[in-house]
Structure 1
């Protein structure tokens, strides 16, 4: 693993979760979108090389990040177009580092607040997770979905339709960026589906700032666009999150 060992992933995820719930105040099948304990400063790093999440995500060149409102302003304008979209255009849940744990399992291991036991072929038993979208504690991996914070269909609409298959696979399995994939309850993930912030926000008030910054960091990381309604919804979130900082690194 190039980023962090599985033995330390759970404590790190726990610390990040605690920081997010303090700093930002104002869902085994996975549907259209795919979720992660939060940090007040949403962060993303370079593309995955080993199939494991980074312990120290990258940031913009100045190292200080951007206020949420300023980060939103950096997202390019665009008009959404879903022509030709098929979910199969994105190859999901690869085992990038060939350790028998695919992307879904890597996220579950990294985000557990109580580490699950890992058996043969990365079968996970036990463990505990906190779904930050709805502040629900979950005690079985089968009750969780892995959410793409910016859903696959939304990514297609806002630029991914022009990518080749390899880059779409990279996006769908972006383990190096801390904020692209998050483990949440299946209920909230399926409620979200492929909707953007103009149509859906997490039900927990405590999740609003984190979700806004996660969304924006992912859009900036992958150079995706935002339409008018999406931008307006994000700006509304930002008004209640003056202390939220967005850090990201553009995907290579």
Structure 2
């Protein structure tokens, strides 16, 4: 097993966008309030509700990558720079070439990577984000205040996962990796007040049986 590369926390203040304003509360200037719960208790805390994808359009709902701090690097580039195990070359307005990344989803080093939303955008929409303002959805899609939220992973694993929740996809690796993945899912859903559907909740409970002693650190999203 390769050693997971520690990723530095990337904090980017979400400022005024050309069309909409990201709320000041979405800025990552200070750590979000934290709480720690045993995994099974954290799962029991989640709201269980039916999901609804009515009206979902990724671009319209969440927009694209933004350059929150106006340094020339958008959110995708910020994550790539933060997680690189071999740094890419940066030229011009944050054009990246080269570099390597550790994809912990499938335990491999890769030189081509996707940025995965740990809880996919479509899944977030289904689970409550459809009721948010556009500004909050843009903040979610570009959130750098929690290093579990956006992850550089292999293109293969990201595309296998797509927009699935844990009822239909989880990292195909050792129990410790599955426990990590589940803990991240639960933390993000609690942090952003997102619900789970009954099948997802049942899968979480089942997988948590592999994870004795695992705690979930929940960082309340702004």
Whether these two folds match at TM > 0.5 is yes
Question: Which is worse superposed, 65-74 or 183-192?
Answer: 65-74
The answer to whether residue 41 in structure 2 is matched with residue 60 in structure 1 is: no
Residue-by-residue CA offset, 1:92-128 (whole Å, 9 max, x unaligned): 2100001111010111111112222222111112222
1:6-85 pair list within 5 angstroms: 14-15=5-6, 48-49=12-13, 58=32, 60-61=34-35, 65-85=36-56
1:73-152 pair list within 5 angstroms: 73-88=44-59, 89-138=61-110, 140=111, 143-152=112-121
Instruction: Indicate if the aligned counterparts of 1:95 and 1:101 stay in contact, CA closer than 8 A.
Output: yes
Q: Provide the C-alpha distance between the structure 1 equivalents of 2:64 and 2:205, rounded to a whole number of angstroms.
A: 31
The structure-2 alpha-carbon separation of the partners of 1:48 and 1:135, relative to structure 1 and needing over 3 Å to count, comes to same
Instruction: Indicate if the aligned counterparts of 1:58 and 1:247 stay in contact, CA closer than 8 A.
Output: no
Task: State which of 202, 207, 216 in structure 2 corresponds to 1:246.
Answer: 216
Instruction: Indicate if the aligned counterparts of 2:7 and 2:82 stay in contact, CA closer than 8 A.
Output: no
Give the ranges of 4+ consecutive aligned residues of structure 1 lying more than 6 Å apart after TM superposition. none
Instruction: Indicate if the aligned counterparts of 2:12 and 2:144 stay in contact, CA closer than 8 A.
Output: yes
Structure 1: any 5+ residue segments left out of the alignment? 1-12, 18-43
Partner of 1:209: 179
The answer to whether residue 129 in structure 2 is matched with residue 157 in structure 1 is: no
The structure-2 alpha-carbon separation of the partners of 1:93 and 1:151, relative to structure 1 and needing over 3 Å to count, comes to same
Q: Provide the C-alpha distance between the structure 1 equivalents of 2:164 and 2:31, rounded to a whole number of angstroms.
A: 26
TM-score of the pair, normalised by structure 1: 0.75
Structure 2: any 5+ residue segments left out of the alignment? 16-27
Q: RCO (CA 8 Å, sep 6+): is it higher in 1 or 2?
A: 1
- Superposition deviation, residue 148 in structure 1: 0.6
Instruction: Indicate if the aligned counterparts of 2:116 and 2:153 stay in contact, CA closer than 8 A.
Output: yes
Task: State which of 168, 188, 207 in structure 1 corresponds to 2:157.
Answer: 188
- Superposition deviation, residue 184 in structure 1: 0.6
Q: Provide the C-alpha distance between the structure 1 equivalents of 2:51 and 2:92, rounded to a whole number of angstroms.
A: 43
Secondary structure at the residue paired with 1:224?
A: coil
Count residues in correspondence: 206
Instruction: Indicate if the aligned counterparts of 1:57 and 1:248 stay in contact, CA closer than 8 A.
Output: no
Residue-by-residue CA offset, 1:60-86 (whole Å, 9 max, x unaligned): 34xxx1111111111111110111111
Q: CA RMSD in A?
A: 2.5
